[in-house]
Structure 1
Amino acid sequence: MQIIIVGGGKVGSTLAEQLSKEGNDITVIDRRYEVVQNLLNEFDVMGIVGNGSSHKVQIEAGIENADLLIAVTGSDELNLLCCLIAKKAGNCQTIARVRNPEYNEEMRFIKEELGLAMAINPELASAVEMARVLRFPTAIKIETFAKGKVEVLKFKIGKGSVLNNIQVSQIATKLKCDVLVCAVEREDDVIIPTGNTILRENDIISIVASPKHSSQFFKRINIVTNQVRNTMIAGGGEIAYYLTKQLLNMGIEVKIIEKDKARCEELSELLPKASIILGDASSQQVLMEEGLANMDSFVTLTNMDEENILLSLFARRVSNMKVITKISSIAFNDVINHLDLDTIIYPKYVTSEYIMGYVRAMKNSIGSNVENMYRLVENKVEALEFVIREKAPVLNKTLEQLDLKENLLIGCINRNGEIITPKGQDVLKLGDTVVVVTTNTGLKDISDILRD
């Protein structure tokens, strides 16, 4: 596909990297010469320095032959204007990043009037992900497939867990649970497990199951899955606003600590059922005075990544609560992953995943049959949802007949809403959707799961 990205910031560069890796022809437009030059040096993309809302610049970028334009500049209005011009100049699909909460109330109208394929709000999308984790605090991360009928949940094997020293193949018989372990993170290594893989304490594992079966699984391993009763939020920005609205609707008590008086007053009007505290969330004294040690959960949403990390580490030290850390810019993933931070949310990745999902759906209509994709372990493990169609090389074959690539497994089969945990004798039928988990990146078609 030919894709134009307007805006080379955090989200734009992430999209450029991911979309180019998947074989798309990418052109990035940005006003800043150094930004465009850096992208050209790092990734296999084209670049144009200029105003993305200019008809002339869009023509130069190839809008007349483009399949999709994605506008992710720092200005909502500029993004919408870019998309409007693109629809007139090239009649391609358009996606705009729109962050202002005022526009969020009118998003359906804006999408219809401007003909947008998607309008993505990074703060709202991040808040949705955080709320999902607080509903199920045992999990580090939760992804959904098959329209919510299948979940991929990541969690850590704690001290004294019944999963310690158990073989993966024994889980179904010993625990009588219909779940599949699809990935194991052990220190710096990531393993796509076989039945002989032995789980260990401190492993971070990902399981595939229906919501019903995952709930049964956690009960069998004596892990409480109830949502948190209350949460404290450090920082009162847009994500805090969206998250609090969702949590209050879930019956969760929320306390926000914000140091800007005007913002506190604004939040008090917008969120009358929440407790809004004027104070500096970076102060340990303030946090303790406001009852951090008695909270079920803590979410760090300040504008500084370093502050969010330190606050999260402090919270983990004073209480065994659920902690969510927002990281916007810091790129030291190897260092961060070795810290005891619990759940980390990167808004730029959340945004890019939403957009990548739409791009794959577009490609699905022109050859590829990837319905959905998530990265379970950053840049190491992908979970993809495929549709089994006519002439697929896996059609009407049992799983044990398939010569699958190494480091790849089929996590589940969705057959008309019935979720099947796959075994060797199961047959892939026309119309099935399957979730494939693998360390082999760039799979585009179900045939790619087979050895060459």
Structure 2
Amino acid sequence: MLIIIAGAGRIGVGLAKNLRSENRDVVLLDNSAAAVKSAQSIDALVLHGDVMDRAKLKMAGIHQANVFIAATGSDERNLLACAMARHEYSQNGNSVWDLLTICQVSDPDLVQESQDGLLREWSGVDYAVMPIEGSIRRLKTGLRVTCFDQVIPFGHQAYIVELVLTKDARDLAFSTLSEAESRVGGMPTIVGLKRRGHPSIIPTDETQLQPKDQVAVAAIGIRSFPRIVRLLGHDEDDFPECPRVAVFGANQVGSKLAEAYISDGCEVTVIEPDLAIANALAGSEIGGHANLEVINGDHHDRELLREVELPHHDIAVAALDDDHASIAVALMAQSLGVPRTGLILEDADLVSVVKGMGITFAVNKKRVCVDMILTKIHDVLSGSYGVLETIPGLVGIGLTIPSGDDRIGSSLEEIKMPSYCKVAFIQRLDPDGARVTLAANADRVMQGGDRLLCFLPPERVDDLKRKFVE
């Protein structure tokens, strides 16, 4: 599979690294000499040139490509690049629709056009990806539990949570997985483990769990979070049913955050220093909601923050246009007594840094965008695709059991999945056609249409796919 990526920024490079780890052929194309030089460390072909240059597209191998991704900083250039790539692809006798095209956008109207199937008609773009809503979902989930390092949603109430196993995990620490499972009824599945100084592994029954191990745990529904937290030895305050939330900034992300929390029945206070932006939110569709208060004022004005009762809020989140400004206001909210603070950041390197500062949870928009695009590429595997962040070298993919398959009627244990992978969940179709997430118990009997969410090293993805098809 040949994948061409237009744009060698954080998103393009992140995609290239993940795809190369699966042994995919990747070409990066960018008109910035600095970006091209920075991307040279990747084991991929990196070309310097304009994404709108047909000669460069030919040099990149567009006639042999399977996927074209436009991930520059401009919606317009991304759309045009996809349209030109599709047209040039067809000039070699290929069917115009055989090339999968994906573009990153910042305009929600384009995402809606894509979901309605209209964008493909007038631009030739198969999928438009905007990471804001995905980032908000991750942030809201991660803020529920302060000890989580990362939360990855896989849809239909399926989550992978990443956290540290502590010495207080009496039922798990210094036990093998099989011993822990015999001791703990309904033991959640641990799909990945990273020990300091050792590579990441898919744990087996004989893997011994030790304090300070970083683990990835399968969770079904947010109500399962408290049990996982206690099981791994953490002490956690209960999350309020309808928290009171402060949002710093009324920009596109801040407005979406406010809307998301209001839809949950929360009281939301938005603080925005720019009068025009504050008025735009106040005059919007949600501006008149009884649970929304929009304040025009300085984020750093402690007197103002006390007037709006910031210390009595349960959550403070910041998604300002400047990452450092967001961090500063989140730290101020923390110093005033807000128990849970969250950030949506542009810079991936800052996510781990702010955790050490005491910020409860941070999300990197570009990382979410990479995951969303990878999911689209892996649609052939019928499900979500996610990369474990604190346990590098492991990914999650979905595999579907088709109707009439020989494995229908067999238990999960009987279908003998390879040792290099672990099944985290089974997502089954209910009578209404919706998917329900089930625990991956060994005695679970397979049905047609079941989707198995599996974790494994990325270089084994194709091996698993071939074995599963066979």
TM over 0.5, yes or no?
yes
* Aligned partners of 2:317 and 2:341 also within 8 Å: yes
Query: In structure 1, how many angstroms separate the alpha carbons of the residues matched to 2:296 and 2:213?
Result: 40
* Alignment match, 2:433: none
Give the distance between the partners of 2:319 and 2:338, measured in 1 at CA: 19
Contact in 1 for aligned 2:411/2:442 (Cα 8 Å): no
**Aligned partners of 2:351, 2:299: CA distance in 1, in Å?**
24
How far did residue 113 of structure 1 move? 2.5
Superposition RMSD on alpha carbons, in Å? 4.1
Give the 5 Å matches for 1:107-256.
107=114, 108=116, 109-133=118-142, 141-145=150-154, 147-148=155-156, 150-154=158-162, 165=173, 167=175, 169=178, 176-177=185-186, 179-183=188-192, 192-193=202-203, 205-211=215-221, 214=224, 217=227, 224=238, 227-256=241-270
Matches of 2:178 and 2:336, distance apart in 1: 38
Please give the secondary structure, in 1, of the residue aligned with 2:386.
strand
Match of 1:303 in 2: 321
Residue in 1 aligned with 2:105? 98
Matched residue count: 441
Change (3 A) 1:283 1:194: farther
- Deviates most, 435-444 or 342-351: 435-444
**Cα deviations by residue, 1:366-419 (Å, 9 ceiling, x for unpaired):** xxx4743212234344333334579999x968749959546x533334465675
Identity %: 21
Distance in 2, matches of 1:385 and 1:285, equals: 51
The equivalent residue for 2:9 is 9
Q: Which amino acid counterpart does residue 267 of structure 1 have in structure 2?
A: L
Give the drift of 1:291.
2.5
TM-score normalized by structure 2? 0.77
Partner secondary structure for residue 316 of structure 2 = strand
3-state secondary structure, aligned to 2:461: coil
Tell me which residue corresponds to 1:279: 297
Q: Unpaired runs of 5+ in structure 1?
A: none
Q: CA deviation at 1:165?
A: 4.8
Deviation at 1:290, TM superposition (A): 3.0
Q: Which moved more, 1:11-20 or 1:198-207?
A: 198-207
Stretch of structure 1 that moved more, 92-101 or 107-116: 107-116
Tell me if structure 2 keeps the 8 A contact 1:137–1:227: no
CA contact (8 A) 1:8 1:30 kept: yes
Structure 1 residue 22: deviation in Å?
Answer: 2.0
Partner of 1:70: 69
Deviations for 1:326-361, whole angstroms, at most 9, x for unmatched residues? 231252666555443322201111001010111122
Shift in alpha-carbon separation, 1:23–1:142, aligned structure 2, 3 A: same
Other-structure match for 1:376: 388
Measured in 1, the distance between the counterparts of 2:335 and 2:151 equals 24
3-state SS of the aligned residue for 1:53? Answer: coil
The CA distance in 2 between the partners of 1:352 and 1:392, in whole Å, is 35
Deviation by residue 1:281-333 (Cα, 9 ceiling, x = unmatched):
24555444433321121212123333333444444454463322223125266
Contact (CA 8 Å) 1:178, 1:421: kept in 2 or not?
no
**Are 1:386 and 2:399 matched, yes or no?**
yes
**Per-residue displacement from partner, 1:219-259 (whole Å, max 9, x unpaired)?**
98787465542211222322112222222222122222222
Change (3 A) 1:143 1:112: farther
* TM value normalised by structure 1: 0.79
Against the structure 1 CA distance between its residues 202 and 339, is the aligned structure 2 distance closer, same or farther, given a 3 Å change threshold? farther
> For 1:246 and 1:176, how far apart are their aligned partners in 2?
35
Aligned twin of 1:264: 278
Contact persistence 1:392–1:446 (CA under 8 A): no
